[in-house]
Amino acid sequence: MCKLLQKELRLAAHPTLYIFMCMGALLLIPAYPYGVVFFFSMIGVFQSTMYARETRDIYYSALLPIRKRDVVKSKLLVTVFAQLGQLLLSLPFAFLRTLYLPEGNPVGIEANVAYYGFGLMIFGVFNFVFYTQFFKTAYKAGAALLTALVPTVLMILAMEAAVHFPGLGWLDGLDRASLLRQLPVLGVGALVYVGGTVLAYRIGAARFQRVDL
């Protein structure tokens, strides 16, 4: 699996996957919808999938002396690397924002604990929908992306809008009390992410087994 992951990272992953991992820097932009950061990550995964399709990487991988389910696992592990890497790389910019832009974000949610919890939820749903759809054929990446964007874009819009509703202002807070109150959101996000990704692997692998390349 280690050699397969090296192949994925060096040959199969499109350069935009790594570029979009750095989009956490957008957290320093005043009055910006930070949910767009997650959208960039999803586009990076899609670009890599398209690149792998056009270079016939999946067909090549299936010819290797490995199980077909390992192909699905390697693709998902690279996606997890990109998504969690993006979140980790964005943390310094979230801290810098609180120092140099303390007036808050009038557009939507702040880059706080709840924000990262919602991000994990969005990524978990995306992984589940995108990979279970894509590995039905291992070819129709565009259709899989459009299907996955429906729930994830709605989740991003709901996240950005929620902080403007009365009684939900704590989701936008950066004070100690609000951040502690947001921890359950982060916990639920982690559970959704792990659950969605594991299910994406199991269902995607089962469907890919039936695909005749």
Indicate the pLDDT class of residue 213, thresholds 50, 70 and 90.
low
Give the pLDDT confidence score for residue 13 in this predicted structure: 85
Q: Which residue stretches of the chain are H helix?
A: 2-7, 15-21, 35-54, 57-63, 68-100, 113-134, 141-162, 176-181, 183-209
Instruction: State which of 4-8, 191-195, 206-210 shows the largest mean pLDDT.
Output: 191-195
Q: What are the pLDDT digits (tens) for 69-85? A: 999 999 999 999 999 99
Give the pLDDT confidence score for residue 34 in this predicted structure: 92
Mean pLDDT of 175-197: 94
Contact 121, 184 (CB under 8 A): no
Indicate the pLDDT class of residue 30, thresholds 50, 70 and 90.
confident
57-61, 91-95, 152-156, 192-196: segment of lowest average pLDDT: 57-61
Mean pLDDT of the chain: 90
Indicate the pLDDT class of residue 53, thresholds 50, 70 and 90.
confident
The whole-angstrom separation of Cα 199 and Cα 213 is 23
Mean pLDDT of 172-179: 87
Higher pLDDT among residues 111 and 6, named by residue: 111
Higher pLDDT among residues 121 and 28, named by residue: 121
Contact 33, 160 (CB under 8 A): yes
Mean pLDDT of 162-175: 86
Give the pLDDT confidence score for residue 54 in this predicted structure: 87
Is residue 102 pLDDT above 80, yes or no? Answer: no
Give the pLDDT confidence score for residue 160 in this predicted structure: 92
